[in-house]
C-alpha cells in the first residue's frame, strides 16, 4: 500500500535508484537544491542523513532557514520501502520566486513509478496537511505543456487563474515556458 512519510535516511538505497532514473534532471519538490546549497553529496550516507535532518528542521521557522525560504514540509510517497516520489508544501509565499513561479506545492514522481496515481495520491494527502496548517488556498503552477501535472492539479480541484508568459526573472530561474497558475481552495 502506498504511504506518505517524512524523509528518512533508511531509504537511502532506494532514493539513489530514483536519482539514477532521473539522470541529473531536477526533481521538483524533493528539496534537492537545499542539499546542493549546503554542498552535500547525496550519494554519501552521511551527507544523505544530514540532508534528511535539514529537511525535517526546515519544517520549523527560524534562523536556520536561508533568506527567502518559508518553512516547508517534504513528504515521500513510498510502497514496500521503495521510494516513489516527493512533494513539498511551502507554508507561505514569502519570495517573488514563490509568488510568481513555484507556488505553495511542488512534486515529482520517479520515472519508473509514473502513471500509477502517485502524484494524485501525494497531492490529495498534502492538501489535507495544508488545511491542517491553516492555509485557506494554495497556488500550484505547472509548465503549460506538462499535461500530467495539469491533470493532477485539475483533478485535485485546481482553478486556473492565468497562463503567464515568461519574463526575464522567470527565464533566469529556469522557467522558460508559459506557466499555468492554479489555485486550490481548501
Ligand atoms: C507530473 C508527474 C508528477 C505526474 O506523476 P504521476 O504519478 O505519473 O501522475 P498520476 O499517475 O497521478 O496521473 C495524474 C494524471 O496525469 C495523467 N498523466 C500521467 N502521465 C501522463 C503523461 N505522460 N501524459 C499525459 N497524461 C499523463 C494521468 O492519466 C492522470 O490523469 P487522469 O486522472 O485524468 O487520468 C510526473 O510525470 C513527474 O514527476 N514529472 C516530472 C516532474 C514534474 O513535472 N513535476 C510537476 C511540476 S509542476
Q: Whose alpha carbon is nearest atom 3 of ligand 1?
A: 108
Q: How far is the CA of 120 from the centre of ligand 1 (A)?
A: 8
The mean pLDDT of the chain is: 96
Predicted confidence at residue 26, as pLDDT, reads 82
Predicted confidence at residue 80, as pLDDT, reads 94
pLDDT in tens, 78-112: 999 999 999 999 999 999 999 999 999 999 999 99
Percent residues over pLDDT 90 in the chain: 94
Q: Give CATH for domain 3-185.
A: 3.40.630.30
Could you state, in order of their start, the residue ranges of all structural domains in the chain? 3-185
In this structure, what C-alpha cell is assigned to residue 34? 537545499
Predicted confidence at residue 8, as pLDDT, reads 98
Q: How far is the CA of 92 from the centre of ligand 1 (A)?
A: 25
150 pocket-lining for ligand 1 (C-beta < 6 Å) = no
State whether residue 4 is helix, strand or coil. Answer: strand
146 pocket-lining for ligand 1 (C-beta < 6 Å) = yes
155 pocket-lining for ligand 1 (C-beta < 6 Å) = yes
Predicted confidence at residue 103, as pLDDT, reads 98
Predicted confidence at residue 68, as pLDDT, reads 84
For the segment 110-133, the average pLDDT, to the nearest whole number, is 98
- pLDDT surpasses 90 at 24: no
114 pocket-lining for ligand 1 (C-beta < 6 Å) = yes
Q: How far is the CA of 20 from the centre of ligand 1 (A)?
A: 20
Give yes or no for a contact between 114 and 158, defined as CB atoms under 8 angstroms apart: no
Q: How far is the CA of 62 from the centre of ligand 1 (A)?
A: 34
Q: For residue 31, what are the CA distances in angstroms to 13, 105, 151?
A: 17, 12, 23
Predicted confidence at residue 173, as pLDDT, reads 95
Percent residues over pLDDT 70 in the chain: 100
Q: For residue 184, what are the CA distances in angstroms to 45, 123, 126, 155?
A: 38, 11, 12, 11
For the segment 38-64, the average pLDDT, to the nearest whole number, is 96
Amino acid at each position: 500500500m502506498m504511504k506518505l512519510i517524512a524523509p528518512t535516511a533508511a531509504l537511502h538505497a532506494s532514493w539513489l535508484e530514483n536519482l539514477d532514473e532521473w539522470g541529473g534532471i531536477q526533481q521538483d519538490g524533493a528539496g534537492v537544491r537545499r542539499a546542493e546549497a549546503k554542498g552535500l553529496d547525496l550519494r554519501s550516507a552521511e551527507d544523505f542523513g544530514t540532508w534528511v535532518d535539514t529537511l525535517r528542521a526546515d519544517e520549523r521557522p527560524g534562523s536556520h532557514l536561508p533568506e527567502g525560504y518559508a518553512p516547508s514540509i517534504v513528504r515521500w510517497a513510498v510502497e514496500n520501502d521503495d521510494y516513489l516520489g516527493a512533494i513539498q508544501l511551502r507554508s507561505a509565499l514569502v519570495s517573488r520566486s514563490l509568488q510568481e513561479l513555484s507556488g505553495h506545492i511542488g512534486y515529482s514522481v520517479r520515472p519508473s513509478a509514473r502513471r500509477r496515481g502517485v502524484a494524485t495520491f501525494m497531492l490529495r494527502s498534502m492538501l489535507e496537511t495544508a488545511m491542517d496548517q491553516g492555509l485557506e488556498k494554495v497556488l500550484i503552477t505547472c509548465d503549460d505543456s506538462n499535461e500530467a501535472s495539469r491533470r493532477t492539479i485539475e483533478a485535485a480541484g485546481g482553478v486556473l487563474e492565468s497562463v503567464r508568459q515568461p519574463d526575464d526573472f522567470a527565464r533566469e530561474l529556469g522557467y522558460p515556458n508559459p506557466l499555468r497558475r492554479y489555485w486550490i481552495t481548501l
